[in-house]
């Protein structure tokens, strides 16, 4: 692959890491870029997962260092996220992805409208969370979106962030942080599977992973410093990008 193409992929990977660290959805930038560059789909998925794992790990590290992760939720939800993803992956082998895309397209505008509705008091510490929030809503959210991640995938981080924001009333910074915990665990499992199947191009994957890591570092720092309004802007931006991408995919059949 020519150097200018690799340089462009590195730029796209940086942008993907930046957006993914704030609101999720970075794969909507990097994966199409890899495909346009002529990389076969399975290799593109595996190489994208390598970059995404590094970026998510760096973003999570920043959130952890700044005390934004609510660990009680993380410990309760990780197992449900993994199980949901496993069940979703097995289910997609029996189902049509086009049908799933149409369902997501129908739900996205509703979700975007909910974003603008008045919210209940934002919770910023684990002391504000009820037992129902921790032991009922968190497992349900993690299983549901873990299932979605394995079944279809695009925008999982965005949906998780929104779910913790809208249904548990978390501050968006904390919602973004807790999402990284679940994203990283699912990414590592997926990357290991791709690697064992020899579906990762390390010659391209390593440089774009470094750029994704840099984007994740900068994005998570800005999210922490700029706060709630900054994350909300990117959350809605990624929702729009996800909606247009899925609509285009279904329209083309």
User: CA-CA distances (angstroms) from residue 43 to 46, 88, 202, 205, 253?
Assistant: 5, 21, 10, 10, 23
Mean pLDDT of the chain: 78
CB 171 within 8 A of CB 223: no
Tell me the pLDDT tens digit for each residue of 99-118.
655 665 676 566 566 555 55
Q: At what angle do helices 41-65 and 172-196 cross, to 10 degrees?
A: 140
Closest CA relative to residue 215, chosen from 64, 69, 62? 62
In the predicted model, is pLDDT for residue 148 greater than 60? Answer: yes
- For 124-144, the pLDDT digits (tens) are 555 578 889 899 999 999 999
The stretch 166-195 carries a mean pLDDT of 83
Of the ranges 61-65, 90-94, 176-180, 206-210, which is most confident?
206-210
pLDDT of 251: 65
Report how far residue 224's alpha carbon sits from residue 183's, in angstroms, rounded to the nearest whole number: 18
pTM of the model: 0.69
Quick: pLDDT tens for 29-44: 787 788 788 888 778 8
170 forms beta bridges with 123
Higher pLDDT, 21 or 95: 21
The whole-angstrom separation of Cα 28 and Cα 211 is 16
User: What pLDDT, on a 0 to 100 scale, did the predictor assign at position 34?
Assistant: 86
| pLDDT at 17 (0 to 100) | 84
pLDDT at 245: 66
Query: Which range, of 75-89, 124-138, 202-216, 218-232, averages the lowest pLDDT?
Result: 218-232
d(CA 195, CA 187): 12
Highest mean pLDDT among 16-30, 174-188, 221-235: 174-188
Write down the pLDDT at residue 250.
57
């Amino acid at each position: 692959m020519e150097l200018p193409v690799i340089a462009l992929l590195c730029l796209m990977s940086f942008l993907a890491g930046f957006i993914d660290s704030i609101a999720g959805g970075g794969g909507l930038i990097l994966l199409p870029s890899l495909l346009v560059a002529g990389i076969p789909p399975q290799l593109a998925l595996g190489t994208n997962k390598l970059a995404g794992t590094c970026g998510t790990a760096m973003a999570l590290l920043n959130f952890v260092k700044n005390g934004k992760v609510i660990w009680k939720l993380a410990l309760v939800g990780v197992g449900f996220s993994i199980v949901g993803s496993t069940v979703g992956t097995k289910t997609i082998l029996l189902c049509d992805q086009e049908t799933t895309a149409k369902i997501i397209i129908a739900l996205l505008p509703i979700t975007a409208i909910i974003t603008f509705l008045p919210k209940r008091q934002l919770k910023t510490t684990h002391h504000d969370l009820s037992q129902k929030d921790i032991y009922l809503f968190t497992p349900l959210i993690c299983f549901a979106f873990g299932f979605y991640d394995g079944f279809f995938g695009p925008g999982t981080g965005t949906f998780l962030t929104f779910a913790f924001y809208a249904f548990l009333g978390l501050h968006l910074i904390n919602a973004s942080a807790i999402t990284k915990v679940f994203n990283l665990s699912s990414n590592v499992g997926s990357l290991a599977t791709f690697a064992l199947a020899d579906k990762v191009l390390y010659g391209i994957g390593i440089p774009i992973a470094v750029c994704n890591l840099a984007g994740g570092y900068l994005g998570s720092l800005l999210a922490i410093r700029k706060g709630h309004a900054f994350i909300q802007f990117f959350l809605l931006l990624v929702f729009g990008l996800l909606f247009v991408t899925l609509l285009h995919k279904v329209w083309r059949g």
